[in-house]
Amino acid sequence: SYRLHSTARECDRRSPGDGVSALGGRNPGPRHRRVTALVVFTGGFLCACGPDKVFVFQKSDDFNEHHLQRYVLRLCEASPAALVSGRGEHTITTLSLSPGEKTIVAATHTSQIFTNPLPSLEASKLPSLVFSPLHARHHEGGVVDAAACLWKPLLATVGQDRTLRVWDYQRHTLLLTHSFRDDIFSLSLHPTGLHVAVGLTEALKLHHLLFDSVRVYSEVRIRRCGVCCFSPSGHLLAAADGNLLLVTSNLTLKKVFTLKGHSAKVTGVGWYPDSWAVMSCSSDGSVVGWDLRQGQSLWEVNSLSSAKYLTAGLSLDGKPTVLVGHASAFTEITGGQMVREMTYEGSEVVSAGVATVKTLLALGITSGHLLLNSFPLHMAESFTSIPAHSAPITKVVITGDEKKVITCGGDGVVLVWRVAGLTDKSPGFMAARERLEDLPVVPEMLVSRTDLQ
């Protein structure tokens, strides 16, 4: 059995077309001159005109001039890219005031929400001319990939906005944001939470994850790496390079194996729990288990038409199990043998997560809904569909202790769901004592020597 309780709520959004497009029905004109939102208050009105700017107008006693511009508020400090281009980052789509007319709320086309006190028209000095985010700023655009840390309550996400964001999913806070110049295609978070691998345009780069920044310490020459994954023990990194699977040592920073066995692009990677074997799937439908003690294939399944995603775990009877899928079909493979195949008639399945101890299967689909069922598939019944995102779900992550399901979407939002605990009648009740209750905890973080001086 399974139950989920949402611990995050997504605010209602409006598209740019929902705001006020122009005053007096005039042509909106260029983006930097268009009025996109307007709200009236006692003594004047607020007007959003141009990126990042809110103008405060005061009623005038002059019959020929009904309103006077009093203040100009900025939504946020301009980024280096915005300073170079001369344009701001956000177009304000909605302005609103609290009932007491004390607080301004601004929503943007990137689904961000900012607040600021309404300035007094009589004050000689204003407390703030720059808005503050209502909550942690999420990605501006879709989330490309996400990974959870095995030994810390950390989640790393990368997005189309070329940023890496590190979250504390227990406290629901944003810890770190780092911007890249290149597009990002994949990432993996080390089990200790001290390192992160990011697949960029030119190479797969390994970074130290510091308390306030990230710093490159090595790289693997793989262009546009679409999938990578640290081993559960943390000493190996598996990464896709076309139809090859490269395994690199995180200790020596040298390549250990180049595994050849797929005839098409590798699309998914997963590890055995003890890190002595790795599994991979490709778009031609082949799924291969690799023995890293010998550097050769351990088993192979070639009966699938295609494979787009892969998620791995350990079955209740102690056998490595993997769920592989494409479009509406997904297949369970346990111990190197195809066990059962299942389909979902509806939207296309994009990502999957498996909690083997709590017998939970979570699927993310293109409609933005989260699908829930039981796992292994012989226990599955009808799906439970939960509305989650306003765009396709791009990634489903289940934390190592199986207490949280995390979904990321094309809307840039990260949602954290709480998984109900086990009862003494649950199939995985005994296994939970061995696998979920004794996970190591690593509270330490990396700090550079210069930061200590």
Q: What angle do CA 287, 307, 154 make, to 5 degrees?
A: 90
Over residues 144-171, the mean pLDDT reads: 94
| DSSP H or E segment with residue 435 | helix 429-435
Instruction: Say how far apart CA 428 and CA 416 lie, in whole Å.
Output: 23
Tokens of 365: 């689909």
Task: Identify the pLDDT of residue 32.
Answer: 54
Q: Is the pLDDT of residue 358 over 50?
A: yes
pLDDT per position as a tens digit, 105-153: 999 887 788 999 988 887 766 667 889 888 888 898 899 999 999 999 9
Amino acid identity, position 67: H
Instruction: Say how far apart CA 332 and CA 321 lie, in whole Å.
Output: 7
Instruction: Say how far apart CA 61 and CA 17 lie, in whole Å.
Output: 34
Over residues 222-233, the mean pLDDT reads: 96
pLDDT per position as a tens digit, 174-221: 999 999 999 999 999 999 999 999 999 999 999 999 988 899 999 999
The DSSP code for 49 is E
Instruction: Say how far apart CA 450 and CA 373 lie, in whole Å.
Output: 50
Per-residue pLDDT band at 22 (split at 50, 70, 90):
very low
Task: Identify the pLDDT of residue 6.
Answer: 41
| DSSP H or E segment with residue 434 | helix 429-435
Per-residue pLDDT band at 62 (split at 50, 70, 90):
confident
Instruction: Say how far apart CA 425 and CA 414 lie, in whole Å.
Output: 32
Q: In what order do the strands lie in the sheet with 384-387?
A: 349-355, 360-365, 369-374, 384-387
CB 186 within 8 A of CB 225: yes
| DSSP H or E segment with residue 430 | helix 429-435
31 alpha carbon, distance to own chain's centre:
29
Instruction: Say how far apart CA 113 and CA 283 lie, in whole Å.
Output: 39
pLDDT per position as a tens digit, 312-323: 998 888 899 999
Q: How many CA atoms lie within 13 A of 415 on its CB side?
A: 29
Instruction: Say how far apart CA 50 and CA 34 lie, in whole Å.
Output: 6
| DSSP H or E segment with residue 204 | strand 204-209
Task: Identify the pLDDT of residue 443.
Answer: 77
Q: Output the DSSP codes for 56-122.
A: EEEE-S-TT--EEEEEEEESSPPPHHHHHHT--S--EEEEEE-TTS-EEEEEETTS-EEEEEPPPTT
Task: Identify the pLDDT of residue 453.
Answer: 67
Instruction: Say how far apart CA 309 and CA 330 lie, in whole Å.
Output: 9
- Alpha-carbon distance values, 232 to 149, 272, 313 (Å): 10, 8, 11
Per-residue pLDDT band at 81 (split at 50, 70, 90):
very low
Residue 51 preceded by cis peptide, ω within 30: no
CB atoms near residue 86 (< 10 Å): 9
CB atoms near residue 160 (< 10 Å): 16
Question: Per this entry, what is the length of the chain?
Answer: 453
Instruction: Say how far apart CA 414 and CA 167 lie, in whole Å.
Output: 10
Tokens of 218: 């090595």
Instruction: Say how far apart CA 50 and CA 350 lie, in whole Å.
Output: 37
Task: Identify the pLDDT of residue 28.
Answer: 39
Looking up tokens 């939102």 gives 37
pTM: 0.82
Average pLDDT, the chain: 86
Task: Identify the pLDDT of residue 452.
Answer: 73
Task: Identify the pLDDT of residue 8.
Answer: 37
Tokens of 443: 């509270």
Task: Identify the pLDDT of residue 93.
Answer: 92
Task: Identify the pLDDT of residue 69.
Answer: 83
